[in-house]
Amino acid sequence: MRLVSPLAVAGFGVATGAGLIAYGLVLGASGALWTAAGLGLAGITLFATRAVPEVVAAIAIFLVALGLGTAPRDIIFSGFMSGGFWLIVSGIILGTAITATGLAARISGRLFALAGPSYGRATLVIATTGLLLGILVPSTMPRVIVMVPVAAAFAERLGLDPKGRGGIGLIATAVTATLLPTYTILTANLPTIVQVGAMQQSYGIASTYSEYMIQQWPVNALRFLLIAVLMMRFTTETPVCAGDDEAGAAPHRPEQRRLLIVLGVAILGWMTDFMHGIEPAWIAMAAAAIVIWPRFGMLDGNAMRERIDFSPPIFFAALVTVVAVAREAGLDRVLADAFIARLPLSPAGDLSSVYAVYGFSVIISHLTTAPAAPAVLVPFAASLSEATGLSLKAVSMVQMIGIATPVLAYQAPPLIVAMSISKVPNAVFVRLCVWLALAVSLVGLPLTYLWWQVIGFV
């Protein structure tokens, strides 16, 4: 039985946010922190509860931010200029083409050959595919965009409704497995790349691919195993398909071959970004431009009007606005300073200090979202190292575990995008995030600390 309705939660959050904004306006120029906090609280509450359509909440955020005038327009609309926005736009186009050409059904047929008519094996195959894709593609957004239609087609191959519990379970498995366990791979996620790069730039502390994987693997192995176990038991539905169908055995259609070539070149570009320096978003845009061109036959001329939904990227841009306005007002720094003064830090470098740094990192990552959290956390690494007795690199690794532990789905933009393009209910990702966060906090962190002692890292 639901004790509090999402509408009630949304109403409380919006009312409280409006109160903070009003108080900030009364204070005048010194009230920017309060108006930013009010805008953030109201916006995140609306996004979390989906009390109104996400695009409505997004437009409201833009309007309120413009009306308040607490940040320049280039800050308010910075989301539209970010690579993430265009990566989502391009990804929606590519994902639509993967489904429209029948390529998703073909890939799902290959996966079915491995899993057979078993939901448990299907879950494990999908989770493993998502994890392995993290090795190939150094950006979560493209992986999510590829995996969502593949998982939906896989559900159909098993005779499950993609919008039913069985289909939702496979899609949620694909999304979470290609995001959270891949934090053990240095190149797999933007927050990891930013964190390691910022540590090297600020303190000269570098991490190699293999070194980072060795230090992070215990907690991420736990994440993968828990995702597999939880999602295997997600539904009691029994697959009704017991073999390959004609779609799986049919020859490649020309448009499928063309799309495979485009995706192959794009994946090669994403894999080698360390060589050419081209951002994943621009590679995705080039691929999307080819795919959307009717001349190549992958999508028809009406696709942009009838198939492409632009509400997810607008939603993403609004989330960036909330974070950007908060950072412009200095809210992240004020809150970080307030939190760090109250942390139970011990110079002994023991597990309690690890927990303190981890908890601080989890809180900051939820105030800023995962991609932006390193910009706030890295400047505190030196003071945290001095206060805890942990090395700078150990502090950075603990911070990374905190960043990679979303309690609420909005902290990780790939989960937000997945909810938008897959229509998986918020509650599914929230429950998964909570279970994973509990597992990391109660088991993963002590296990990782013990492993670090074994290898001499702490």
Q: Within this chain, do residues 212 and 285 fall inside the same structural domain, yes or no? A: yes
- Tokens 């485009």 appear where? 262
| Beta-carbon contacts of residue 445 (< 8 Å; ≥ 6 apart) | 219, 351, 354, 355, 358, 401
Q: Within this chain, do residues 26 and 122 fall inside the same structural domain, yes or no? A: no
Strands (E), 308-426: none
Task: Give me the number of domains the chain comprises.
Answer: 2
Query: Is residue 137 pLDDT above 80, yes or no?
Result: no
The per-residue DSSP string of 49-105 comes to HTSS-HHHHHHHHHHHHHHHT-S-HHHHTHHHHSHHHHHHHHHHHHHHHHHHTTHHH
Q: Within this chain, do residues 117 and 167 fall inside the same structural domain, yes or no? A: yes
Domain membership of residue 454 (yes or no) is: no
Q: Within this chain, do residues 236 and 168 fall inside the same structural domain, yes or no? A: yes
Query: Is residue 50 pLDDT above 90, yes or no?
Result: no
Q: Looking at residue 4, what is its pLDDT?
A: 63
| pLDDT band of 242, cuts 50, 70, 90 | very low
CB distance 223 to 180 below 8 Å:
yes
Q: Within this chain, do residues 44 and 116 fall inside the same structural domain, yes or no? A: no
Q: Quick check: pTM over 0.75?
A: no
Domain membership of residue 446 (yes or no) is: no
Residue at which a domain ends, from 294, 311, 328: 311
> Domain span at residue 28?
1-53
Q: Within this chain, do residues 195 and 138 fall inside the same structural domain, yes or no? A: yes
Q: Looking at residue 273, what is its pLDDT?
A: 67
Q: Looking at residue 53, what is its pLDDT?
A: 82
Domain membership of residue 273 (yes or no) is: yes
Residues 358-401: pLDDT tens digits?
A: 998 998 888 777 877 887 788 788 888 888 888 999 999 999 99
Query: Is residue 112 pLDDT above 90, yes or no?
Result: no
Q: Within this chain, do residues 120 and 180 fall inside the same structural domain, yes or no? A: yes
Highest mean pLDDT among 90-94, 95-99, 386-390: 386-390
Q: Determine what percent of the chain is predicted with pLDDT higher than 70.
A: 94
Domain membership of residue 140 (yes or no) is: yes
Domain membership of residue 199 (yes or no) is: yes
Domain membership of residue 266 (yes or no) is: yes
Residues 173-227: pLDDT tens digits?
A: 999 999 999 998 876 787 887 788 778 777 888 777 788 888 999 999 999 999 9
More confident site: 270 or 322: 322
